[in-house]
Amino acid sequence: MTTISIVREDGQKIRLSTSGEGVGDDILDNQEEIYKLKANSDRYISPYNINYGDDNDGQAISTFGAENRWLDENGTLKIQKMILRENDNLNETGGIDISNNPDLSSLKDTESLLYIPQNDSLWIADDDGHQVFEMDFTTHEVKSKFTDVDLGTFTNGDINDHCNSSYEGVCDIEEIAYKENSDTLYIFAGHSRGTPSIFKLSRENIDDKFSIESYRKLDSNTEYPSAIVIDNDLIVSIGKSLYKYDYETNSIDSLPLFTIDDDVGEIVGLAYLDNILWVTTLGEHRLIKVNWSSKNIEHIYKMTNNGVSDPRGVEIIDNKLYIVDGNDNVEPHHVLKHAIHIYQVPN
């Protein structure tokens, strides 16, 4: 375990908590660490415990980049906002509480994100719950949902996997992608416990619910954990590489468009804006900034230093980065469970 401290304006070093969240060193100044810190240093618990907070079990942590709050030895409330290092750590500005949204009560995991600005919809893929949600981005109300049963039923028995005792259909919903020029949605299923496949959905009008139009089955050992449309090309990930995918022929190009050579883990999330591709990775928990024209990596961020222990889906909305945390170990109904974290887009 590691002791976490901060330094007050008067120079006094104050211990806030004992942490097992992978922190390497004590804080020497207020720019070294931005973990979500608990208020009472005597309570030996972490965000993975439902009692994380102050002595009254109230929320007293730096959630979504808010100030750290704690009581000193005289019972006086102290407040400090962490200052982040420019172009090293990300500046977290807010977040979306997923675990306490009644419309998302059946959600079990947050795997990927997709924003469709034309009708202000935020899509969330839930692989453990075998479902995809369309949520109103402004109100956070769910507008539509597709389940593994919906997808499996469309195949007329061609795909009828037994996900567990309660589900049948397409078991491992991993990713969603959107092609704007044809108003087409793609849902990707992986090979864990089921048949890897891709479903194409369409609709008559922008405010209508999507309908399943067709599907493609993939080889049993093939899956595309992340996907995105760039310049009307559907691009998918395999390991640390990105390939152009053709839905009509159900094939990918033989050579990758881009490969990450660094040991940063496999690609699980993609977002694109203004020639910059943002990539999240599994295992090493990185966010990577890529110049798409040159295919050069411009910066790599360690997301465990930025409040996200398991970065999955990433999206850019109103020039801000939205990154969903796929960590399943946070206690139910804690504000950080499967939360969507919001950051300023760094230069």
Report domain extents, the chain: 1-83, 92-344
Q: Locate tokens 């908590």: which residue?
A: 17
DSSP H helix total and E strand total for the chain:
1, 27
Question: Which ranges in 222-306 belong to alpha helices (H)?
Answer: none
Measure the CA–CA gap between 113 and 315, rounded to whole angstroms: 6
* Collapsed DSSP state (helix, strand, coil) of residue 104: helix
Question: In this predicted structure, what is the pLDDT of residue 319?
Answer: 94
At residue 114's C-alpha, the angle toward residues 216 and 122, to 5°, is: 125
Q: Which of 113, 116, 251, 277 is nearest to 183 (CA)?
A: 116
- How many other β-carbons are positioned within 10 Å of the β-carbon of residue 130? 31
Question: Which ranges in the chain belong to alpha helices (H)?
Answer: 148-154
CA atoms lying within 13 Å on the CB side of residue 271: 27
Measure the CA–CA gap between 176 and 174, rounded to whole angstroms: 7
Contact 61, 17 (CB under 8 A): no
Q: Which of 163, 170, 166, 164 is nearest to 146 (CA)?
A: 170
At residue 119's C-alpha, the angle toward residues 118 and 120, to 5°, is: 100
Question: 19 vs 1, 16, 37, 38, 72, CA distance in Å?
Answer: 6, 9, 9, 10, 19
- How many other β-carbons are positioned within 10 Å of the β-carbon of residue 96? 19
How far, in whole angstroms, is CA 94 from its chain's centroid? 14
Question: In this predicted structure, what is the pLDDT of residue 52?
Answer: 43
Question: In this predicted structure, what is the pLDDT of residue 305?
Answer: 78
DSSP for 62-99 reads: -GGG--EEEE-TTS-EEEEPPPPPTTTS--EEEEE--T
Measure the CA–CA gap between 206 and 268, rounded to whole angstroms: 28
State pLDDT tens for residues 194-245.
Answer: 789 999 999 999 999 999 999 999 998 899 999 999 999 999 999 999 999 9
Q: Please provide the CATH number assigned to the domain covering 92-344.
A: 2.120.10.30
pLDDT in tens, the chain (347 residues): 444 444 445 555 444 443 333 333 333 223 233 333 433 333 333 444 444 444 443 434 456 766 666 666 677 776 766 554 444 578 888 889 888 899 999 888 888 999 999 999 999 999 888 899 999 999 999 999 998 889 988 998 888 777 665 556 677 889 999 999 999 999 999 887 778 999 999 999 999 999 999 999 999 889 999 999 999 999 999 999 999 999 999 999 999 999 999 899 999 999 999 999 999 999 899 999 999 999 999 999 998 878 788 999 999 999 999 999 988 877 777 777 889 999 999 88
Question: In this predicted structure, what is the pLDDT of residue 88?
Answer: 56
255: its two tokens? 């050579």
